[in-house]
Amino acid sequence: MKVPPDAGPQHAPAPPGDALVAVEGVVKHFPIRQGVVFKKEVARVHAVDGVDLAVGAGETLGIVGESGSGKSTLARCITGLHPVTSGRILFEGTDITRLSKAGLKAFRRDVQMIFQDPYGSLNPRRRVGSIIGDPFAVHGLASGAERKRRVQELMELVGLNPEHYNRFPAEFSGGQRQRIGVARALALRPRLIVCDEPVSALDVSIQAQVINLLKDLQAEFGLTYVFIAHDLSVVRYVSDRVAVMYLGRIVESARAADLYTRPRHPYATALLSAASIADPDAAESAERIVLTGDVPSPVNPPSGCRFHPRCPKAADRCVDEDPPYVPRLGDPRDHRTACHFPVEEGERLAHREPAIAQVSTEPELPEVDT
């Protein structure tokens, strides 16, 4: 077995040359408090637990991982919606975790978010014209007839009929509502849009239309996207690079084509095989690698490599040592994997039980007084 090269520190330099966003050692813990009066902290959810990544200007970085791996929390940290517990997030070189209120307001013009639920994120009692015009109002940028003109321009841009300016969200279909969300996100001509499951709630045929709209807008305005989705084929279609998250960490990241054809982390390998798209031509004959056990609780993550209780390749070292997140022998510099024993080309992982005894994966949340 090849020993991974000691290719440098865990916080290795970011891969793309012109990083618009650089996430450095970001941690986001949510305290769990107990008690009526003093609300003592009794535990912490390690939602994001030491993430490094970079997003190049004009590119799309996809983020995948099972439910609860911390994708949305990371997205909210990047957009400044969550204060981080520690670490830095550089946007064009400025650390946004230390911005003043005024600085944060200016930053929010450059960064927008599109959410999964086009129903929940639109106030049903407001007309779409005023919803899409919100960012102009918040930033005091356009009012009256000028605001209406700009909102109608945005509606046209995203494929909505500008004459429907006075309609309510309920009068639109699911796909059209997501277009309303896209128009609102575009209002201030942001540089970065973080899309958190933007098409998961839509019918498959509508998904393609919204994804193609996002791609067209990216080409037209030079937008940078962070794109989170459960559907790995959607992520492959939209992403230049993809990062795989597991229990608050990035375990592997690479150019999309490299990751999908040659995943190195056993978790990424299993995730892609489950979706049968690691190699679409061989999908029919491909063996699915079954991920055993549940995702462990983020309150008490496993020692060493967090994937070890579920990993068919786990050895003692994986229990004791946190693997560095670095390029592995034979991989391009921008393909990084946090694994002591990366999967070799042609290696089969299927149907092997973890070599290490399973640890309890039950969440160990303390009972909280009510």
Ligand X SMILES: Nc1ncnc2c1ncn2[C@@H]1O[C@H](COP(=O)(O)OP(=O)(O)OP(=O)(O)O)[C@@H](O)[C@H]1O
Task: Note the residues at the interface with ligand X (CB under 6 A).
Answer: 30, 45, 47, 65, 67-73, 298
x/- mask, Mg ion, residues 65-94, rule CB under 5 A, reads: -------x----------------------
Query: Which are the contacts of 341, defined by CB distance < 8 A and separation ≥ 6?
Result: 1, 4, 266, 313, 315, 318
Cβ–Cβ < 8 Å for 157, 132 = no
Choose between 30 and 165: whose C-beta lies nearer to ligand X: 30
CB-nearer residue toward ligand X: 298 or 327: 298
**What is the three-class DSSP state of 326?**
strand
Nearer Cβ to Mg ion, position 117 or 134? 117
Residue 45's binding partner among Mg ion, ligand X, none (Cβ under 5 to 8 angstroms by kind) is ligand X
In sign, the C-alpha dihedral spanning 272, 275, 279, 285 is positive
Question: Least distance to ligand X from the beta carbon of 116, Å?
Answer: 8
| CB 45 to ligand X: min, Å | 4
User: Rounded to whole angstroms, how far apart are CA atoms 252 and 270?
Assistant: 13
Q: How far is the CB of 40 from ligand X (least distance, A)?
A: 16
Nearer to Mg ion, 63 or 318 (CB): 63
By the rule CB under 5 A, 224 interacts with Mg ion: no
User: Shortest approach of Mg ion to residue 246 CB, angstroms?
Assistant: 14
Residue 47 burial (CB count, 10 A): 23
Residue 368, judged by CB atoms within 10 A of its CB (0-12, 13-18, 19+), counts as exposed
Nearest-angstrom CA–CA distance, 321 and 306 = 10
Using CA atoms, how far apart are residues 233 and 216, in angstroms rounded to an integer? 19
Residue position matching structure tokens 């670490």: 87
In the chain, what are the helix, strand and coil shares in percent, each to the nearest 5?
30, 20, 45
Residue 30 C-beta: closest distance to ligand X, Å: 3
Stretch that binds Mg ion, among 43-51, 64-72, 216-224, 249-257 (CB under 5 A): 64-72
- Taking each helix axis from N to C terminus, what angle separates 144-157 and 128-138, rounded to the nearest 10 degrees? 120
Is the Cβ of residue 155 or residue 244 nearer to ligand X in the bound state? Answer: 244
Instruction: State the nearest-atom distance from the C-beta of 196 to Mg ion, in Å.
Output: 6
| Binding partner of residue 97 among Mg ion, ligand X, none, CB cut-off 5 to 8 Å per kind | none
Which residue, 64 or 214, has its beta carbon nearer to ligand X? 64
Residue 266 contact partner, candidates Mg ion, ligand X, none, CB within 5 to 8 A by sort of partner: none
Query: What are the structure tokens assigned to 340, written together?
Result: 């002591």
CB nearer to Mg ion: give 172 or 267. 267
Q: How far is the CB of 198 from Mg ion (least distance, A)?
A: 12
Query: What is the Cα–Cα distance from 236 to 260, expressed in whole angstroms?
Result: 8
Question: CA angle, corner 64, sides to 231 and 296, nearest 5?
Answer: 115
Binding mask 21-60 for Mg ion (x = CB under 5 A): ----------------------------------------
Q: Could you write out the three-class secondary structure of 107-161? A: HHHHEEEECCCCCCCCCCCCCHHHHHHHHHHHCCCCCHHHHHHHHHHHHHHCCCC
The interface partner of residue 237, options being ligand X, Mg ion, none and the CB cut-off 5 to 8 Å by kind, is none
> CB-based contacts of 173: which residues, under 8 Å, 6+ apart?
206
198 binds, among ligand X, Mg ion, none (CB under 5 to 8 A by kind): none
Compare residues 186 and 243 and give the one whose CB is closer to ligand X. 243
Q: Could you tell which of Mg ion, ligand X, none binds residue 168, using a CB distance below 5 to 8 A set by kind?
A: none
**Residues interacting with Mg ion, by CB under 5 A?**
72
